Chain A
Amino acid sequence: MRKYYTKIDNIAGNVATLKATNVGYEELAVVEGSWGSSLAQVIRVNGDTVTLQVFAGTRGVSTGDKVSFLGSSMKFSFSEDLFGRIFSGSGQARDNRGELTDNLIEIGGPAVNPAVRLMPHRMIPTNIPMIDVFNTLVEGQKLPIFSIPGEPYNELLARIALQAEADVIIFGGMGLKYDEYLYFKNRLEEGGAMNRSIMFVHTASDPVVECLQTPDLALTVAEQFAIQGKRVLVLLTDMTNFSNALKEISITMEQIPSNRGYPGDLYSQLASRYEKAVVFEEGGSITLMAVTTMPGDDVTHPVPDNTGYITEGQFYLKGGVIDPFGSLSRLKQQVNGKTREDHRAIMDGCIQLYSKCRETREKRAMGFEMSEWDLKLLAYGDSFEKKIMSFDANVGLFDALKQCWEILANHFEPRETGIRSNLCDQFWPKNS
């Protein structure tokens, strides 16, 4: 028989405390009142005082509301029935279809033993040249998209979701605007990917605690599929909202903030989510892409800064394109030696020339005289931006490499490119 408590002592922020006994740490509770009921989680037990984090927030919660404990931590139903479904951050159905109650699994379990991990070794083609050619995405990688608000990061995420070959797509939205949520839903439906997708969505108007749960739900489900041998792609947007939710809770809990109000364990909190990216020996994998918006384009802000230390590189979205200099896929070396022999040479050669082009543009802006070589670089930079960097470019890796060679051939002699001569002999377009 379930025991009810009917006296809440303190209510502040999203946190409530009451007197109760025989309650486990991180156990789930239900708070029922005249304004509806909400799940809550135990975040501290001290003698007979229990501190609860109320998922729906404490607005309207009365000190006389009924509280009961469920005897276990948060669980979620896992089965093939999840495909095509949309859930909220507390795991409730958001799509007017029934709740699932079969095969409950625990949310936010222990870490994977490093000894059973494999090095990521398979390329994920995205048909975006700036990724495929220059910063290859690798299966099992964790990679954030650093961006200032207003950049097309959600479009990029949606494109990767639709074009990457993945058995399962799991989407976790945190603090989304409602129309962003609809955008993703529509894109997945139009792209015909909804039947292999599962969405967990927390919108900006939902209670902040649910924002904290969203990535854990998404990643726990992803982990279960990966154990079954599935190749799972997890998309999270936006981790800055998640971090801000952490900040909100920790300040309510009167924790001493470490940097710009964020809690001291921000790194560990982010890492325990990102580190779910994995390649198992048995074949399943989780690839994780997450958006991190940078307030004020400041990469030293605690959220992008801590993220950068955790993830295996980053895609830096700037001016509507993936910036070739700030972006880095640390795992690209694992795969780009095996695609085609000119891949690495094109990757280095094109970027070095483009970087020289940028220098030349600066020189031009300062009013220095342009030499013939400078003019070549400028022309090259323009076509490189238009054909390769542009967000519209949508070609496979080999076609993208071919285009790169063509652009080089249009503007340079082989020896000017700095690319090894045996590669130029083999790949340099003949008709130019």
Chain B
Amino acid sequence: MSMIGRIVTVYGNMVTAEVEGIVRQNAVAYCKRADGVKLMSEIIRVRGKLVDMQVFELTRGLKVGDEVEITDELLSVELGPGLIGMVYDGLQNPLAEMAIQHGNFLTPGHYLKALNREKLWDFTPVASIGSLVKASDNLGKVQENIFDHFIMAPFNLRGEWKVKSVAPAGKYKVEDIIATLEKDGEVMEINMIQRWPVRMPLGIYKQRLLPTQPMVTKQRIIDTFFPVMLGGTYCIPGPFGAGKTVLQQNTSRYADVDVVILAACGERAGEVVETLREFPHLADPRTGGTLIERTIIICNTSSMPVAARESSVYTAITLGEYYRQVGLNVLLLADSTSRWAQALREMSGRLEEIPGEEAFPAYLETSIARFYERGGIVELNDGRTSSLTVGGTVSPAGGNFEEPVTQGTLKVVGAFLGLSYARSYARRFPAIDPLESWSKYSGVIESQKVTWAHSFLKRGKTINEMMQVVGEEGTSIDDFVIYLKSELLDSVYLQQNSFDEVDAACPVERQRYLFDLVSETLKHEFKFANKPEARDTFFALTEQFRNWNYTPWETEQLEEIEASIKEILASKEATNA
């Protein structure tokens, strides 16, 4: 069912059409160019007979009077087996397939099906004939990589339906009927594909739970000091060049979750290409497969149309919610939410809305909050728990955290990993500022111990600042040792070399062990004759700890290094004379 309207205004990616009849907010419309090409759009405002639409393509060539085909369907995504490993644009067009069919450029007006229609899936029925099912109840399952991908009753199903038939185990395509449901004489055929509007949260579960289990990223500074939990939310703001992207890439590689969704939103195409070309070759230690077999990439890079950028984060989070519904732990990494906010701002400007701070629309904060709130850990109707963790980077103008996007984000996330230019300038990676960042979650090490270790960083900083003024000569040796201890903690625990094979990922067990070893050093009462001796000792310690970090777990060599650390400690022990 669609209606025809006529264009009255074209201004950038905003088109206004005049239409008689009933229109739905956020419904999809197609602007038809004189040469017949249809440009996908979304209705974002209705004013009497006039509807304002954001067009997801270049609007070049559209004329006043051109036809607009207005549908009743909300902007939606296709859900089903086969999403994993795909690279989609913001409207869920598979990019590899686009390149095969339409060449090097993303020419406007081409839309492809998101799921492969030809692939055969090994289907196993789960629901028994005659049983009653509700929305999202499992009817059967297929094997997608190493996961059981449950095929569920439609998410928009109303009430309880009786299972009339289920397909026997065998190979099916996504469009094949795998079950029929019946209610009050009405029969519904079910295949493996569902559609869901991206702007509507998809959450059918018994209850939402409090996040309690840490999401291990194998990055020490995160897991120990600023942890994130399964179903939690966090943000990474930082100026350019502070290493946001490397941190996101490391997290996407090492995070202990089932599915990772990368939403490259308004960022460089090169970064997507790197993931795209490398992930198929990188082993996933958890599964034995490659990383791409647990990754979905949604990319709307900075030169792709702005309106599609705005919708791409919703596409990404809807896919995340879907896999949570399937019963998996999902991590969504959005890079960068600032570009998404800028897309909102551009549209708001074209709509001539009254601007808020820095010309961002007044609804910026609620939009950000609603986005992050779609994450969470839940107990599904069948009792399993599954989660969607959301991490977003923020690119504040000039690296100034006082801007609206950073501030709007800080209010709604559970952890703040602030990157600092000073740390990246000093090549201290990951450049998460240990004194500015915070986390409301608890991590892999008891919080009491963490707080104690963290206190060294604070004191070390104060002493260092003082030393800048009075010089090393004016600093007492006790203070100097505390400063050296804080530097040691920083360089061997907080910093991590993502280019080293061993150090790049530090598992929990290893983190705990190292934490105790470092703590022992922090606790140790040293006795030094003078400052150069103290400095030399800490140089030697730092070197040994670094070697420790670079040496594989459970090797003799590692024990040897530990022994030499202990030896250094013993040799400089303060005696109770």
**Which A residues between 241 and 278 are near B, CB-CB below 8 angstroms?**
255-259, 263-265, 267-268, 271-272, 275-276, 278
B387 within 8 A of A: no
> Is residue B330 contacting chain A, with contact meaning CB distance below 8 A?
no
Q: Does B23 belong to the interface (CB within 8 Å)?
A: no
Contacts of B239 in A (CB 8 A): 308
Residue A302 interfacial (CB < 8 Å): yes
B108's partner among A110, A264, A310, A328 (CB-CB below 8 A) is A110
Contact partners of A46 in chain B: CB under 8 A: 8-11, 16, 64
Complex alpha-carbon distance, A108 and B303, angstroms: 11
B277 in the interface (beta carbon within 8 A): yes
Q: For residue A368, which residues in chain B have a CB less than 8 angstroms away from its CB?
A: 471
CB pair B266 A271 closer than 8 Å = yes
Q: How many A-B residue pairs have CB under 8 A?
A: 164
A309 touches B277 (CB 8 A): no
Residues of B within 8 Å of A256, CB to CB, are 349, 355, 359
Asked whether, in the complex, the Cβ of B9 is within 8 Å of the Cβ of A45, the reply is yes
List, in ascending order, chain A residues with CB within 8 A of B241's CB.
Answer: 308, 313, 328
Bin the interface of chain B by size: 35 or more
Q: Is B306 an interface residue (CB 8 A)?
A: yes
Q: Bound state CA distance, A308 and B270, in angstroms?
A: 14
Chain A: CB-nearest residue to B397: A305
Query: Among residues 102 to 141 in chain B, which have CB atoms less than 8 Å away from a CB atom of chain A?
Result: 102-108
The one of B62, B106, B397 that contacts A111, using a Cβ cutoff of 8 Å: B106
**Contact indicator A258/B359 (Cβ below 8 Å):** yes
Q: Is the CB of B104 within 8 A of A113?
A: yes
- Contact between chains at A115 and B105 (CB < 8 Å): no
Is B60 positioned at the interface, with any CB of A under 8 Å from its CB? yes
Question: Residues 10-44 of chain A: 1 if any B CB is under 8 Å from the residue's CB, otherwise 0?
Answer: 00000000000111111100000000000000011
Whether the pair A113, B358 counts as a contact (CB closer than 8 A) is no
| Closest B residue to A44 using CB positions | B11
Q: Is B268 an interface residue (CB 8 A)?
A: yes
Q: A46-B11, A272-B303 are in contact. Are A309 and B95 (CB under 8 A)?
A: no
Q: What residues of A have a CB within 8 angstroms of the CB of B273 in the complex?
A: 114, 117-119
CB atoms of B269 and A275 under 8 A apart: yes
Query: Do residues B240 and A110 form an inter-chain contact, with CB atoms below 8 A?
Result: no
A227 touches B (CB below 8 Å): yes
A117–B303 CA distance with the chains assembled, in angstroms:
14
B412 at the interface (CB under 8 A from A): no
Contact with B along A44-70 (1 / 0, CB 8 A): 111110000000000000000000000
Q: A272-B302, A275-B269 are in contact. Are A25 and B359 (CB under 8 A)?
A: no
Q: Can you sample 10 A-B contacts with CB below 8 Å? A: A24-B63, A47-B64, A73-B61, A113-B95, A113-B106, A115-B99, A256-B359, A271-B302, A275-B269, A275-B301
Question: Beyond the given A113-B105, A115-B276, A264-B345, could you list 11 further A-B residue pairs with CB under 8 A, ordered by the A residue number?
Answer: A110-B106, A112-B269, A113-B102, A113-B103, A113-B104, A256-B349, A267-B342, A299-B398, A305-B397, A305-B398, A308-B239
| B residues at A contact (CB < 8 Å) | 8-11, 16, 34, 58-65, 87, 95-96, 98-99, 102-108, 239-241, 266, 268-270, 272-274, 276-277, 299, 301-304, 306, 339, 342-343, 345-346, 349, 355, 358-360, 395, 397-400, 425, 471
